[in-house]
Structure 1
Amino acid sequence: MNRIIAFCLFALLLTACSGDGDKPKTTTSEPIYTLIFLDKTRSVNIDKAFVGQKYQQALTDIIEQNIRQKGDRLEVYFIHENTSKARALNLTVRSEMDDVSAASPTDREAAETEFNLSLTREKAQIRQRVLQQLVAQNVGSSNQETDIWASLPVIAKANESGATVKVYYLSDMIESVKGANRRDFQVSPPKDNAQADEWAKADAEQLKKYTLGSPEITMILPFEPNASVKENNPAVTQYWQTLFSELGVGTVEEQ
């Protein structure tokens, strides 16, 4: 009986320790570096109700999940003919939680309340500025080409920060660049997954010069659920899945 009681007490102790360790440490965890690439080419129409609603909700969710503490960063780039030079926003969170390690429970609660209010205000400001970039129109000549490859050096630069990098493409992912050794999926998309894999592996050889690290990548597509294969070609997203995998990225999600 004593042995059973001792075992139960030991199990309870383990559970309690595990529970404390699993609690989120919102003010001491590694900062998040969020990269958002907004497609500003002719093929993505943000004025369509479905696209506008989907992308507004996606951006709201991204900000809510990734903006948590001082030092978190968020950058917005436009995807077009000159993607790597098209940074539209560069924001760093300023809200900071006071050191409450030696504070009384009352002071600790007051500090947490003040921090949460400050962070909520900052999130609202960031959301407003990001949504302004979402609806911004690109009527210049840069909307003729879609250079998604050019996002890779941007990701590699973010990887150098040491933060957790999360990348979001709000795009149809239709790479469309003219010239030798480039892909133009507007003119010649991969015909099936096998060809997509073949092209991606070949292209990865010239793109491995970019050290991407292990970012989380999410492709948020503008297509409605009833879109045709011609409009939402699964071989195109297969190409990107394979390319990112070949470049060492572990997590690639499609939405």
Structure 2
Amino acid sequence: MTKYIALFLLFLLSACSSDGDKTKTRTDEPIYTLIFLDKTRSVNVNNAFVARKYQQALNEIIEQNIRHKGDKLEVYFIHENTSKARALTITTRTDMEDVSAASATDREAAETEFDLALSREKAQIRQRVFQQLGAQNAGASNQETDIWASLPVIAKANESGATVNVYYLSDMIESVKGPTRRNFQVKPPKDNAQADEWAKADAGQLKRYTIGSPTITMILPFEPNASVKQNNPAVTQYWQTLFSDLGAGTVEEQ
């Protein structure tokens, strides 16, 4: 009996060790972060609530996704020409030296040095991203909101093999003229059922973009007491269904 208990405990230890190794491997994989900033007339980042919410969100995005050398962050503007509106590209340079053969004291010193260097790099990244958040778009491109055009950008990121995290800082009001496009400013979905119907129909033509299984977060600029006319739940339902049908791993709304 004692022999079987010992073998069972050995199995448990082996399984825990294996799970820990898997977790470490996943943690070490590079992260490709895409941030889409709405630069159309319907989103005012100078509004105190929006500025506060978006600055806090960007802080959290950088903190969570910038962890070591090789992590990549790109900022695109959402407007009439979204897919060509890359505003910023950054690849993390801070690297952790190999401490596998180091003493406990040397390992702790190396980790402290790495943390300090990474904190400095994050501060620089934060400053550059905030500059893009505050950038104004007074040109003609602010008249249309082409969120569909973000899909080829996500598909390109998917080709990297990295874990892809996508963030939309936008009201998600797609508004593009044309018989095959959606203009939610003129005709939003009337309810969740219609939103699902439209999204499934649109997914048929958009599946040419292989986006993989990114995590997608929509960070809306609306205050908690916003009316349905401002923050139409059927619009976000449309995006939930569309992104899910295209293969997104998770789709969240904030």
* TM-score normalised by L of structure 1: 0.93
Pairwise mapping of residues 19-168 of structure 1 onto structure 2 (< 5 A)?
21-22=19-20, 25=24, 29-168=28-167
**1:185 equivalent in structure 2:** 184
| Alpha-carbon separation, structure 1, partners of 2:25 and 2:206 | 35
| Alpha-carbon separation, structure 2, partners of 1:33 and 1:181 | 31
Q: Secondary structure at the match of 2:199?
A: helix
Report if aligned partners of 1:27, 1:68 keep a CA contact under 8 Å in 2: no
Report if aligned partners of 1:26, 1:69 keep a CA contact under 8 Å in 2: no
**2:175 equivalent in structure 1:** 176
Q: Secondary structure at the match of 1:236?
A: helix
Report if aligned partners of 1:83, 1:150 keep a CA contact under 8 Å in 2: yes
| Alpha-carbon separation, structure 2, partners of 1:88 and 1:66 | 18
**1:14 equivalent in structure 2:** 12
| Deviation, structure 1 residue 88 | 0.5
* TM-score normalised by L of structure 2: 0.93
Report if aligned partners of 1:171, 1:221 keep a CA contact under 8 Å in 2: yes
| Alpha-carbon separation, structure 2, partners of 1:104 and 1:214 | 40
Give percent identity, aligned residues only: 78
**2:210 equivalent in structure 1:** 211
Q: Secondary structure at the match of 2:28?
A: coil
Count of aligned positions: 253
| Alpha-carbon separation, structure 2, partners of 1:182 and 1:233 | 19
Change (3 A) 1:210 1:123: same
The answer to whether structure 1 residue 238 and structure 2 residue 237 are counterparts is yes
| Alpha-carbon separation, structure 1, partners of 2:97 and 2:26 | 9
| Deviation, structure 1 residue 247 | 0.8
Pick which of 170-179 and 22-31 moved more: 22-31
Give the counterpart letter for 2:76 in structure 1. Answer: Y
Give the counterpart letter for 1:129 in structure 2. Answer: R
Report if aligned partners of 1:27, 1:69 keep a CA contact under 8 Å in 2: no
| Deviation, structure 1 residue 11 | 4.1
| Deviation, structure 1 residue 100 | 1.0
| Deviation, structure 1 residue 107 | 1.6
| Alpha-carbon separation, structure 2, partners of 1:116 and 1:178 | 49
Q: Secondary structure at the match of 1:150?
A: helix
Give the counterpart letter for 2:96 in structure 1. Answer: M
Give the counterpart letter for 1:244 in structure 2. Answer: F
Give the counterpart letter for 1:166 in structure 2. Answer: N
Unaligned runs of 5+ in 1: none
Pick which of 102-111 and 19-28 moved more: 19-28
CA offsets 1:148-180 (integer angstroms, 9 cap, x no match): 000000000000000000000000000000012
| Alpha-carbon separation, structure 1, partners of 2:24 and 2:116 | 18
CA offsets 1:222-243 (integer angstroms, 9 cap, x no match): 1111111111000000100111
| Deviation, structure 1 residue 129 | 0.5
| Deviation, structure 1 residue 17 | 6.2
| Alpha-carbon separation, structure 2, partners of 1:154 and 1:32 | 15
Q: Secondary structure at the match of 2:148?
A: coil
